[in-house]
Amino acid sequence: MIFKRFLKKKPIGGPGEEDQALLSRTARESDDVTARRDACRRLMALRELREIAASDPDPGVRDIAQARLRNLVCGTEEPGLPLAERLHEVAVANDPRLLEAIATTANEGEVRRSAIDRIGTPSVLTACALRDPLASNRRAAIERLADKAALEQITRQIGKKDKRVYRLAREKLRAIAEQESLPLKIRSQCSELCERVERLGRHGNWEQDRGLLDCIERDWAPLQPRADDELRTRYEVARERFLADYAAYRESQAELLAEAHRQDARRTLLHALLAELAAASESDDDATLKALRERALRIREDDTVTLPEAEKAELDRRLGQSLTDLARHQERLADRRRRQGRARTLHTKITERLAQTQPLDLAKTQPLLKEAQTLLGEEILAAEQARALRDDLAGLEQRIEKQRHHAEHRLAEVPNKIESLTEALTDGELKRAEPLLQSLQAAIDLAQASNLPSTAYAEAQHQIQQAAPRVKELQGWRRWGAEQQRAALCQDIDALLASDAPPETLAPRLREIQRSWKALDQGGSPADQRRWQRFHTAAEQVYERCRPYLEQQATEREANRQARERLCEDLERFLAQVDWERMDWKKAVKAAREMHRNWAAIGPVEGRHRKGLERRFRNAIKQLDQRLDAERKRNRRFREELIAEVAALVEHSDLDRAIEATKECQRRWHTTVAGRKADENALWQRFRDACDAVFGRRRAQLEARDAELNDNLAVRTAICDEAQTLAEADAPPAQIETLLRELDGRWRESAPLPVPRGAAHDLDRRWRAARQGILERLRVQRDAERRASLDLLARQAELCTRLEQALITEDSATLDLTAIKTKWSALPRQTEETLQTAIGARFATALALLERGDPIPDEVLDENHQEREVLCLQLEILAKVDSPAELADERLAFQVSRLTERMAAGEKDPLANAAGLLSKWYLCGPFPAAPQLEERFAGARDALASSERREEVEAA
């Protein structure tokens, strides 16, 4: 249109197009009313609109601000404000009219719900409960309603549109009805309680009636505030009357009750004492048991209260028996404590036996074993003590068994050792014979201590005794040989003294000869004093010749000692002053290497200093090595954690975040103290593999995403293919409907599945087209079935009409019943069983009347004729064909009433189902002949058929 652009509304600018601050100042401060109104029409600030609507002196400005505020909150004006901002405005609004307008006219359900939660006007809540599109809002409105008239209106008008709202309204009405009937119910309950109180005491059951009064009091307490004065007075009078009578009864029974109470107290005391005595068997406290026994004796001797003879005798018997049992229990406890003390003593002795390193003497140990086994067999020890003694017993038995096995093993070796001893003695090898003889004697002593049979070691003991003289003989020869060697060493030292060799040669030779002399002394053959003095004097003289050389060597070793001490001091000072928290570990590793290298480069020191310095250096360097090792392990754990962190990121759901975290781990990776090269390389390779796995996820994710999209596309495409195939299939309508429901369900299930972006629109368009084709095919099939059903029903009704007309005209003689029955049987059955049953009943009724010769009642004919006139009029209205002039008023009244019912009840037009009206026409009978009515029916039926064919052509 040429003028279309002049008819467009001027766009309203959003917050970004106009200066809202200027509009706000204009709306608040301008003296021009027109300017304030125009500013309010464009202002977007809800809070300022609310304040202007409440405080502006001009009514027009207030009305415009109120309308603008309502429209913005309801979302009926553009540009729309955020939902959260509008919900906040609803939450702070205090104007009831604004809230009611929002509750009924807002576009968003959340806004309407927020307003519904803040209003209380019954009429508005009723409108929301009846007409709000959201079921949750309707339920919220009905939950806030408490007005009976409004609830009744909802139950009348809601109908089947929202069964839950209908049920809530019915429940609230039921609660109101119960509240209204509550006074009558309360009066009835109060009257019943008054009657119950008035009946108390009539039969002399005072104690029972007193208990009943307490029950009645509990029932009366919640009813008393709601009871009228008459019932309260009646209740109080009856209650006071009973209490007075009950007090008189109790006064008369006071002495008997006092005696009964004293007997009950005595009886209770005795039963409690018997229970304590019975439970005393579980106690181990001597003081408690003694106090209980003394108290029981005092109670038994107390005779201030007398019980019946039989009961007193029974209680005395039970008390005496309990005291006897208590005495036995105390004796058992004393015996148990004695045995437990013995068990502690045994535990101490066995522990001492197990702690000693010498072989156990079984003769002294066996009594301890037997006594411990006896105590354990009596089962009187505490669980912990028994467990400890059992452990001691097991340890002692294990030690004895181990000792016996060891003794047997040593005895098994005795023959070989005796043979070796014999060979050594035969060969004169005293050095080998002496330890063998000592070992054999120790084996014999062990066998005797282990209580082995004497036959097991008697022969060996005899052979040892025979070998002893030979050993002594060899020891004498050894002393002689040592003296010969000492004489030779004296000659060597004399030759060394006479030698002209330099000190470098004399000193080592002197040390060698001295070591040989010392070895002879250690061999068990000490030298005589004269020879020792000769050797010592010569050695001193040789040493004097070597002194300058040895002193020079001592000076060098002293310098080496000092250098080593300085190195140890430097290392110890470093360890004492270093800050391990800020250590440069790479420099520390380099320093440790230099320390080791410098220590190895220093020459030898005196033997007396060497071990101390070595130990000092090792201790210091060990601390450094421990620190380095700790840092190496810490740094390895740190890098292991980085590897684990990166490995965990492989499965992280947020790939971008996982990649950033992996890069951060790469930046944090560093080595402070390295381990073995192979270990370091393996650790670095693991870290690289984990990082590569994370970085490789993006490509795998993209590939998996594409595969998933293609799979989803294939699934939804297959559904469309099936739908298109179904639209072209020649199948029964019922089967098509079943398959369509199945396809709809599968399509809904697959709707959330993502597909390639370009294929989604085509898929939806293809699905809608295929589904529409299925629905169109169903409609065509259903229409064909309906037309076929009506045609069959018309033919069946024609046969029924022939029978009924023969009855009406009493001209059955000319009617061939056999032919009609044959035609009826030849007709197919209706697919709808109700139609077949109804038309079959009409035919069977007419045939039965005709065969019996019974006439059709006139009132049936008149009723069917009237029904057919109504059906014909409805068909003419539906087909939009003219009715006879005399039926114009009736047709108009029927149309008006039909429109009124539809508007009031909200139901579909009852005349919209033409097939139903035609079926009713064919099923209605018998009726007198009415050619004009038949002609009107045929015209309406043909008009409906023509209209249907036109609609099919237009749809095609």
Whole-angstrom Cα distance, residue 132 to residue 106? Answer: 10
pLDDT in tens, 44-62: 888 888 888 888 888 888 8
pLDDT in tens, 294-336: 777 777 777 666 777 777 777 778 878 887 887 777 777 777 7
pLDDT given for residue 128 in this prediction: 86
Type of residue found at 374? T
Write a three-state SS string for 381-402: CCHHHHHHHHHHHHHHHHHHHH
pLDDT higher than 60, residue 742: yes
For the ranges 73-87, 199-213, 536-550, 683-697, which has the lowest average pLDDT?
536-550
pLDDT given for residue 485 in this prediction: 59
pLDDT higher than 50, residue 14: no
CB atoms within 10 A of CB 360: 20
Whole-angstrom Cα distance, residue 25 to residue 29? Answer: 6
pLDDT higher than 50, residue 338: yes
DSSP string, 749-809: HHTTS---HHHHHHHHHHHHHHHHHHHHHHHHHHHHHHHHHHHHHHHHHHHHHHHHHHHHH
Work out the pLDDT band at 232, boundaries 50, 70, 90: confident
pLDDT in tens, 846-877: 888 877 777 888 788 888 888 888 888 888 88
- Mean pLDDT, rounded, for 796-814: 78
Residue 501: exposed, middle, or buried by beta-carbon count in 10 A (0-12, 13-18, 19+)?
Answer: exposed
In the chain, % of residues over pLDDT 90: 0
Whole-angstrom Cα distance, residue 537 to residue 545? Answer: 13
| DSSP secondary structure code for residue 305 in this structure | S
Average pLDDT, the chain: 76
Whole-angstrom Cα distance, residue 142 to residue 128? Answer: 8
Contact 894, 875 (CB under 8 A): no
Whole-angstrom Cα distance, residue 656 to residue 614? Answer: 58
Whole-angstrom Cα distance, residue 411 to residue 398? Answer: 20
Highest mean pLDDT among 536-540, 687-691, 927-931: 687-691
pLDDT higher than 70, residue 9: no
Contact 895, 910 (CB under 8 A): no
pLDDT given for residue 158 in this prediction: 80
pLDDT given for residue 942 in this prediction: 84
For the ranges 43-47, 62-66, 410-414, which has the lowest average pLDDT?
410-414
pLDDT in tens, 277-297: 777 777 777 778 777 777 777
pLDDT given for residue 479 in this prediction: 52
pLDDT given for residue 867 in this prediction: 84
CA nearest neighbour of 754 among 722, 710, 717? 710
Contact 592, 625 (CB under 8 A): yes
Work out the pLDDT band at 908, boundaries 50, 70, 90: very low
pLDDT higher than 70, residue 86: yes
- Mean pLDDT, rounded, for 240-261: 76
Whole-angstrom Cα distance, residue 773 to residue 767? Answer: 10
- The domain ranges of the chain are 10-182, 183-252, 257-342, 356-456, 704-831, 857-956
For residues 71 and 300, the model is more confident at: 71
pLDDT given for residue 909 in this prediction: 46
Work out the pLDDT band at 765, boundaries 50, 70, 90: confident
pLDDT given for residue 77 in this prediction: 75
CB atoms within 10 A of CB 638: 15
- Entry field: residues in the chain: 956
Tokens of 751: 């709707």
Write a three-state SS string for 225-272: HHCCHHHHHHHHHHHHHHHHHHHHHHHHCHHHHHHHHHHHHHHHHHHH
Whole-angstrom Cα distance, residue 188 to residue 539? Answer: 137
pLDDT higher than 60, residue 784: yes
Write the CA distances from 661 to 405, 615, 669, 695, 703, integer angstroms.
66, 49, 12, 11, 22
Work out the pLDDT band at 444, boundaries 50, 70, 90: low
In the chain, % of residues over pLDDT 70: 75
Each as own residue / partner, the long-range contacts of residues 750-759 (CB below 8 Å, 24 or more positions apart, any chain) are 750/712, 750/715, 750/716, 750/719, 753/712, 753/715, 753/716, 754/708, 754/709, 754/712, 755/709, 755/712, 755/713, 755/716, 756/709, 756/710, 756/713, 759/713
- Mean pLDDT, rounded, for 509-520: 66
Type of residue found at 367? P
Within 450-528, where are the H helices? 458-498, 503-522
CB atoms within 10 A of CB 756: 12
- Mean pLDDT, rounded, for 612-624: 82
CA nearest neighbour of 792 among 649, 955, 636, 923? 923
CA nearest neighbour of 151 among 179, 128, 122? 122
Going by C-beta distance under 8 Å and a sequence separation of 6 or more, which residues neighbour residue 359?
403, 407, 445, 446, 449, 450
Residue 469: exposed, middle, or buried by beta-carbon count in 10 A (0-12, 13-18, 19+)?
Answer: exposed
In the three-class reduction of DSSP (H, G, I as helix; E, B as strand; rest coil), residue 132 is classed as coil
